[in-house]
Chains A and B, each alone.
Chain A
Amino acid sequence: MVGERSSVNVAARRPARKPRPARIKYNRREALAGYLFISPWIVGFVVFMLGAMAYSLVISFSRYNLATNVARPAGTSNYARLFDDPKVATSLANTLFYAIMAVPLEICVALGLALLLNRVGRGAGFFRTVYYLPKMTPSVATAAVFLLLLNGNTGAINQALGFVGISGPQWLIDPAWVKPSIVLMTLWGVSGTMVIFLAALKSVPKDLYEVADLDGAGPVRKFFYITVPMISGAIFFNVIVLTIAALQVFDQAYLLFWRDQTSSSPEASLFYGIYLFQQAFREFNFGFASAMAWVLFVLILLISLVQVRIGNRFVYYEGEKR
């Protein structure tokens, strides 16, 4: 994957450690056909990815008039507004708070379930199917059901809590419980993450556990000294993917709180993705929305980079093929 150019530079400075691969002679017809086959992707990439990102960057420095389709340069005013608009800070804080709560819980629950399933042997297929069903349920269906399950007065969740003597909160109204409500819904659909963990657990060589048994290691030590390092790649992948998803949380928040533009708990349920959507497609402030999108992009990039830096220290890749 590494570009050929860099290896050329290195080779020029010091005698090549590895023999440089001989220049491949490309067959012109074959190369041309190859480009033709991938041309749809190239068009999509140039127009809808690169083009869109460049366009977005331009718009973020402009005032976009939807009626006339004209973007007038507006300097950095959109970015300046990010700091003036208190809702940006609120939504960002809500989103980060949600991510910090959701991601570790999702990882723990998914890993716990995967460990359970990994131990069953026979019957694992059945339970795996059951656990996977929520993942097949459309987010809007999940929300429609949880809207009623989480109802503070009549919902089944508070009813169940009542049986054990806890009077449940007003999940969907009390600002303190807005994020836990969404986390709960997310956890219901955690099986995708679980399946990735399960696949990783299955690929851990059994011998390692046998050796550890002989050394007298208990289950806890085996978990932390064998299982966790051996599946660190999967943990790392899931953390990154779930973090990116959490920072863009939209569907559940929209369906539970923002369907009709007003929310029962407008402060606590205003997530970054919601505010961005509102600014873009309800207020048609495309310039401001684009500035918000770029801030989110940079934020996601930074967080991912930090995670990669930390991850590289801990992640063990079998065979180090990368």
Chain B
Amino acid sequence: MATTRAQPAGTELSSPTPAPEAATDVGRTRSRRKTRPPRAQAARLLLWALLVVVSAAFLYPLVWLIAASLKPRAEVFDNALIPRTFSPENYVQVWDQLPLGHWVANSFVIAILAATLVTFSSAMIAFGFAYFRFPGRNLLFGLVLATMMLPGAVTMVPQYLIWKNLGVLGTWIPLFGMNLFGSAFYIFLQRQFFLGLPRELFEAARIDGASYFGLFRRIALPLSIPSLVVIFIFEFQASWNNLQSALIYLNAGSVEGFTAPLGIAYAMTKYSPTNGGQGDYQYVMVATLLITLPMLILFAFGQRHFIEGVATEGRKG
């Protein structure tokens, strides 16, 4: 960096900068300000205006949802962002209208199981790849990465049949069972983290007589809690939002057994006038808001993790 910085310093000769040792970017902004200040100002204003407009577009559906959830049936479609008639009783009635409590509880248990399982299995597998030396390690890790490209549609049918043959259809096992075997992206993330830990730590523990599993449980896991949390919240979100698996494995069962996404899909149809419903969409809106809320809370706590995690996903490509 230093060499490229030095180069433009020479060209400053032509500009009447009093302090030639000033950093080049200072010189640049100064000269630009001198030549066209109104344009730079206008550009800045335009930038902020754009940001605000885009923010409004991104927030609008969520604000609309909150407003609609507080409206009586007749006003749900009026698009007013502040309800003309407040109808907070929607939030009470919805529990009688839809088995929302069941749905949320089901989704919650499944998401916790899915996230816990995948966090531990991925960490263990990642530790295997990060710490141990064994023949074929790099080839196998390449295969792990390759599975990330496998489209889910291909394995959807056979996985259903495998679960069927194992006799667990109708249970929740197909919704999180795969997580026992780790998940490629999380293995990748966690392996990166383990590779960052100093190897001497493990060597020292070995000399003190720790077993291999002890290394993992006593040293690797406690040190990697931050990245384990990332995996956990990622998978929690993925499981919480998963519609397709619920459609495959739970749709035939009772409505109480639905997960939250499947329940909302069911409610969207239930109240649809074309389906003989009364158009009570306010209940759908309340339910939708209530199942979105946990994700927004999760985001409030783990915002940095989400954004950095996604950025990492891009970097590996």
Contacts and interface: CB of A to CB of B under 8 A. Distances in A.
Interface string B1-38: 10011011001000000000000110010000000000
A210 B303 contact: no
B61 A142 contact: yes
A286 B248 CA distance: 13
A243 to B, nearest CB: 11
Contacts of B311: 195-196, 198-199
Contacts, number: 300
A303 to B, nearest CB: 11
Interface stretch (B47-55, B85-93, B222-230): B47-55
Interface in A132-152: 132-149, 151
Interface in A39-93: 40-45, 47-49, 51-53, 55-56, 59, 64, 69
A31 B124 contact: no
B176 interface: no
Given A38-B140, A144-B288, A210 B24 contact: yes
Contacts of A255: 243, 265, 268
A127 interface: yes
Interface stretch (A10-18, A96-104, A221-229, A244-252): A244-252
Contacts of B256: none
A107 interface: no
B147 interface: yes
Interface in B156-173: 156-162, 164-165
Interface string A180-211: 00000000100110011111100001110011
B77 A211 contact: no
Given A188-B61, A196-B313, A244-B149, A31 B135 contact: yes
Contact of A127 (B4, B55, B268): B55
Nearest to A196: B314
B181 interface: yes
Contact of A188 (B8, B58, B272, B296): B58
Contacts of A281: 160, 247-248, 251
Contacts of B291: 138, 140-141
Nearest to A190: B58
A145 B139 CA distance: 46
A140 B153 contact: no
B299 to A, nearest CB: 5
Interface string B192-232: 00000000000000000000100010000000000000000
Contacts of B128: 33-38, 41
A291 B68 CA distance: 44
Given A137-B295, A139-B243, A40 B121 contact: yes
Contact of B164 (A24, A34, A69): A69
Nearest to A273: B153
Nearest to A260: B269
Contacts of A276: 153, 156
B134 A30 contact: yes
Interface in B60-76: 60-62, 64-65, 68, 76
B84 interface: no
B42 to A, nearest CB: 14
B55 A277 contact: no
B106 interface: no
B65 A40 contact: no
B54 A116 contact: yes
A226 to B, nearest CB: 13
B58 to A, nearest CB: 6
Contact of B161 (A38, A55, A139, A277): A55
B314 A290 contact: no
A240 interface: yes
Contacts of A30: 132-134, 212
Given A133-B296, A195-B307, A41 B182 contact: yes
A61 to B, nearest CB: 13
B151 A248 contact: yes
Nearest to A142: B61
A148 B154 contact: no
B132 to A, nearest CB: 3
A177 interface: no
A136 B77 contact: no
Given A1-B138, A35-B128, A296-B153, A141 B314 contact: no
Contacts of A127: 51, 54-55
B105 interface: no
Contacts of A31: 132-135
A284 B206 CA distance: 55
A251 B313 CA distance: 22
B25 A259 contact: no
B222 to A, nearest CB: 17
A69 to B, nearest CB: 7
B162 A47 contact: yes
Question: Which one of A35, A141, A198, A260 has the highest number of Cβ atoms from chain B below 10 Å of its Cβ?
Answer: A141
Interface of B: 1, 4-5, 7-8, 11, 24-25, 28, 47-48, 50-51, 54-55, 58-62, 64-65, 68, 76-79, 121, 124-125, 127-129, 131-135, 137-144, 147, 149-162, 164-165, 178, 180-182, 187, 212, 216, 237, 240-241, 243-244, 247-248, 251, 260-261, 264-265, 268-269, 272, 275, 281, 284-285, 288-289, 291-292, 295-296, 298-299, 303, 306-307, 310-311, 313-315, 317
30 contacts: A26-B134, A31-B133, A32-B134, A34-B128, A34-B129, A34-B133, A38-B128, A41-B144, A52-B159, A56-B155, A123-B51, A130-B55, A134-B62, A140-B243, A140-B265, A141-B288, A144-B264, A145-B64, A145-B68, A147-B268, A154-B78, A156-B79, A195-B314, A196-B310, A210-B8, A213-B28, A233-B317, A240-B317, A260-B269, A281-B160
Given A141-B291, A142-B61, 5 more contacts: A30-B132, A52-B159, A64-B161, A195-B307, A286-B161
